[in-house]
Amino acid sequence: MPLELVTLPALSDNYTYLVHDSESGATACIDVPEAQPIVDAVTQRGWTLTDIWLTHHHHDHIGGVDDLLKVFDAKVTGATADRHRLPTLNHEVGEGDRFEFGGEVITVLDVSGHTVGHIAFVASESGFALTGDSLMALGCGRLFEGTAAQMWDSLQKLAALKPDTLICSGHEYTQSNARFAITVDPDNADLKARIAHVNSKRERNEPTVPSKLSDEAATNPFLRAADPAIQANLDMIGAEPVDVFAEIRARKDRF
């Protein structure tokens, strides 16, 4: 049985996810912007939260951990590299680590860039990756701590996952990401179609995440730095993809 995945909006534009194994009853939440939506969603389903997985130390991803631990006695997993700035961890992980959850192997990837020490959790059998503020729908996290090269490496790791992997990212930023994406990739028909789809979802107040990795590969400019049309558009034909990525990221920061 694949793990069940639940997408929950929290705060103004964050997402948290529940991952549930019906056989063992194990339930994890990924990042805790605030406790209440998680408590409500878990109890409504008759579940108990057993695990908290943290992608990075920013307050909008960990701010609700203490409140959540008052309700559930959950095991907290996060990056060894960030132990000094994460809530107390019961389980420390890093690049390439694997651990079992509900009969499935979860793989940890270091996806530094937005922060150094940012990790992603990959459930390859069930087909999803929890990417926090690394790879996002039509975007990627701002480079607060890492370099463009670090983020580019991180995105390559995620881009190498199976094409139908669901990318579960931490924010509803997709419409603003789309407004930028079309400026660097204006002739991309897949991007135009996706933007229309995203806009109609938001009109109905539906989440635009998770998104499929193959859709990101076709439309997310931060994964497409090697694309000839984007390179031509940026006047960077033949440049190293990492340099094109850095330019795209810089333009987004100014956008």
The residues that touch Fe ion, with contacts defined as CB under 5 A, are 60, 133, 170
Asked whether the beta carbons of 155 and 169 are under 8 A apart, the reply is: no
Choices 13-21, 88-96, 122-130, 131-139 (CB under 5 A): range interacting with Zn ion: 131-139
Q: How far is the CB of 180 from Zn ion (least distance, A)?
A: 18
User: Token pair 């019906």 is at which residue?
Assistant: 22
Per partner kind, with CB cut-offs from 5 to 8 A, the member of Fe ion, Zn ion, none near residue 20 is none
Q: Which residues are catalytic?
A: 56, 58, 60-61, 114, 133, 171
Q: Is 58 in the site for Zn ion (CB under 5 A)?
A: yes
Omega before residue 210 within 30° of 0, cis: yes
Tell me the number of residues near Zn ion by CB under 5 A: 2
Q: How far is the CB of 31 from Fe ion (least distance, A)?
A: 8
* Cβ atoms < 10 Å from Cβ of 56: 30
Please identify, using beta-carbon distances, which residue of 98 and 142 lies nearer to Zn ion.
142
Q: Which residues, in sequence order, are bridge partners of residue 121?
A: 108, 130
CA distance 10 to 77: 20
Q: How far is the CB of 117 from Fe ion (least distance, A)?
A: 14
CA distance 22 to 24: 6
Residue 217 has which token pair? 């590969």
Please identify, using beta-carbon distances, which residue of 58 and 252 lies nearer to Zn ion.
58
Please identify, using beta-carbon distances, which residue of 50 and 134 lies nearer to Zn ion.
134
Q: Is 133 in the site for Zn ion (CB under 5 A)?
A: yes
Q: Is 31 in the site for Zn ion (CB under 5 A)?
A: no
